[in-house]
Amino acid sequence: MLETLTHIRKRIREGALKNVILQTKWIYGYARRYWLAMIFYTLIGMSGTLLALGSNLVSKDLVDIITNQRTGEVVKTFGFMIALGIGGAVVGQISTYLSSWISMKVDMEIKADIFSKMLITDWESLTAYHTGDLLTRWNTDATTISNGILNWIPSLIINLFKFISAFAIVIYYDWTFAVFSFIGIPVTLILSKTLVNRMVNNNKRSAAMSAKMSGFHQEAFSNIQTIKAFDLVRIYVEYLKQLQKDYITMRLDFQKMSMATSILMAVVGLAVSYSSYGWGIYRVFSGVISYGTMTMFLSLSGTLTGTLNSLISLVPNAIGLTTSASRLMDILEMPREDYSLDGQVEKFGKNHSLEGIHLEVDAIDYSYHTGTEVFSGAALEAHPHEIIALVGPSGEGKTTMLRLILALLSPQKGEIRLFSGEKSEHSYEELPLTPSSRKLFSYVPQGNTMFSGTIAENMRNVKSDATDEEIIEALKLGCAWDFVKKLPKGINSEIKERGGGFSEGQAQRLSIARALLRHAPILLLDEATSALDVATERRVLKNIMSDESPRTCIVTTHRPTVLKLCSRVYVIREKHCEILNEEEIRQLLDDF
């Protein structure tokens, strides 16, 4: 006992109690949205309890009527018992249906809410988690929360109501039977304590293992081509088998404990039942109670024991809830992106759609959370009707600069500004760079970024009201129409997962066309023409510049063949952005 108290005090000092309180408050934030559903579900459950207890009382009367040979009352009482049984069955089915409906509704709403919050979580913080881990938290943990919100409090109330009601009936007819209902309580509590401790550890291990397996599956299925190309099939199959073996071992470790506990509790339950039988027979032979009362007591004794076990089982359920809440809170309590300037950004974009928008990076410092410094006092500028190039070796920060411009990352020092007009003129207007500013950007990142669906659906992801003619015009600007028009279904042709069915060069041209369709004033191309031949690359960039839109374009590239089309070329060197002169550009071309 002293050891237990010492352990509890230690856990409280370590912040365990504080964490549980915070997790409970977080769960309550969702639970209070569905209080009407919980009340309704609770009332249905309590109605079923009353009908079940009523059936016990009627069955008692029926047994007494038969044993006393009061034949005149048999039919009426039997009919009443049938009616109660049918009523209980109907209520049970209604309860199951409503429970399923409410549970699915709550599950979908909570998942949608958590999904939306995940999407506006600080991007750099979110990248610390594996995609498989995020999927497990969003799917499994969110389902645990939604099921718990609907069931935990109603189950507590319903089982308490059932226990108190059954106990009151037992006390009313013969209080001595109540003693047998509590014989197994000490054993049950001791076993539950052990099981709860194992449950805490098992939940954490299970969640971590599920996330690991989910991540493995996601990566393996996404990279089947690579696995085949490197002849890694056997290695990946063996790795999966090892993961499965570890998972089974973990589950069986807990299952052994659970099995031993269940057997012991079953033995205790049988001891309680047989004791109740013996005592009931003695009380009947003594003439204290009737046969009907004894059968009712035996039934209620099982109800009391089962209800008590159900109440105790709510403890590990609560632990599972708080564990899932903790895992989701890890994600959802990260810094959020601020979209409060959406209206201001939209107004700014409309007011300056004709003259375009300038971008200025002013003496920024940036280091990753790991401490790796990328920029120190870096600066550049880009203006409408210009193509600005960013060159430099891999890993020097070209993609990082674009992420800073998109407000996916935030500089530790300096600032990035958007403005329209000349600074010396009255028409000059400046806009701070925030996540809301992304409305003014089109972005083509590295790699294949097409979604499964038709070409037209992919295009309309960025402009939902785009006509077929607008889509075709964007495809022409992106030099994609020449192969799309030859497809049997044209713009309604299907794109498979990750751009399947198209070459890398074709997928890149589709991505560029999608970005151009948005008609955003600033276009960012991150190695977006790397899979194109030189002639097509030059055509794409010339089309971008010949477009009447006052577009500001920034291109990152390893290929200097397009540098002659650029207004300025910046090289990232020693954590700065330096403008290259004509001689340096010629040297790049000669070296290439």
Residue 118 counted as domain residue: yes
> Which of 268, 301, 332 marks a domain boundary?
332
413-420 and 429-432 strand pairing = antiparallel
**Same domain assignment for residues 394 and 417:** yes
**Same domain assignment for residues 445 and 488:** yes
- What pLDDT score does 475 carry? 92
Residue 306 counted as domain residue: yes
522-526 and 494-495 strand pairing = unpaired
Length of the chain: 592
- 307 in Cβ contact with 162 (< 8 Å): yes
- CA-wise closest residue to 319 among 202, 453, 403: 202
Q: Any idea which residue has 């007591």 for tokens?
A: 297
- What pLDDT score does 361 carry? 92
Residue 104 counted as domain residue: yes
- 265 in Cβ contact with 249 (< 8 Å): no
Q: What is the pLDDT of residues 440-459, one digit of tens each?
A: 999 988 877 788 889 999 89
Q: What is the CA radius of gyration of the chain?
A: 35
- What pLDDT score does 1 carry? 42
Which pair of structure tokens corresponds to residue 186? Answer: 């000490």
- The rounded distance, in Å, linking the Cα atoms of 49 and 525 is 65
- 487 in Cβ contact with 493 (< 8 Å): yes
**Same domain assignment for residues 441 and 471:** yes
**Same domain assignment for residues 135 and 159:** yes
Nearby residues of 315 by Cβ (< 8 Å), 6 or more positions away:
192, 196
Domain total in the chain: 2
- The rounded distance, in Å, linking the Cα atoms of 213 and 248 is 12
CATH of residue 387's domain is 3.40.50.300
Residue 434 counted as domain residue: yes
- What pLDDT score does 195 carry? 57
Residue 577 counted as domain residue: yes
**Same domain assignment for residues 325 and 423:** no
Q: What is the DSSP letter of 73?
A: G
- 271 in Cβ contact with 164 (< 8 Å): no
**What is the domain range of residue 92?**
2-332
- 266 in Cβ contact with 302 (< 8 Å): no
Q: What is the pLDDT of residues 218-277, one digit of tens each?
A: 778 777 766 777 777 888 888 888 888 888 887 777 777 667 666 766 677 677 667 777
Q: Any idea which residue has 């047998």 for tokens?
A: 180
119 φ, ψ (degrees, to nearest 5):
-70, -25
Beta bridge partners of 149: none
**Same domain assignment for residues 325 and 291:** yes
**Same domain assignment for residues 308 and 374:** no
Which pair of structure tokens corresponds to residue 46? Answer: 């309590």
Residue 222 counted as domain residue: yes
**Same domain assignment for residues 307 and 361:** no
- What pLDDT score does 283 carry? 77
> Which of 303, 332, 361 marks a domain boundary?
332
In the predicted model, residues of the chain with pLDDT beneath 70 are 1-17, 69-74, 178, 180-204, 207, 225-226, 257-258, 260-262, 264-266, 269, 272-273, 423-426, 547, 591-592
- CA-wise closest residue to 570 among 260, 297, 360, 423: 360
Nearby residues of 563 by Cβ (< 8 Å), 6 or more positions away:
389, 391, 569, 585, 588, 589
**Same domain assignment for residues 49 and 180:** yes
DSSP string over 109-146? HHHHHHHHHHHTB-HHHHTTS-HHHHHHIIIIIHHHHH
Helices first, then strands: H and E counts in the chain: 20, 12
Reported in sequence order, the residue ranges of 270-424 that DSSP labels E, i.e. its strands, are: 358-367, 373-382, 386-391, 413-420
Residue 337 counted as domain residue: no
CATH of residue 236's domain is 1.20.1560.10
| Cβ-based neighbour number of residue 405 at 10 Å | 23
**Same domain assignment for residues 346 and 327:** no
- The rounded distance, in Å, linking the Cα atoms of 387 and 408 is 22
**Same domain assignment for residues 479 and 558:** yes
**Same domain assignment for residues 59 and 154:** yes
> Which of 298, 332, 366 marks a domain boundary?
332
Residue 82 counted as domain residue: yes
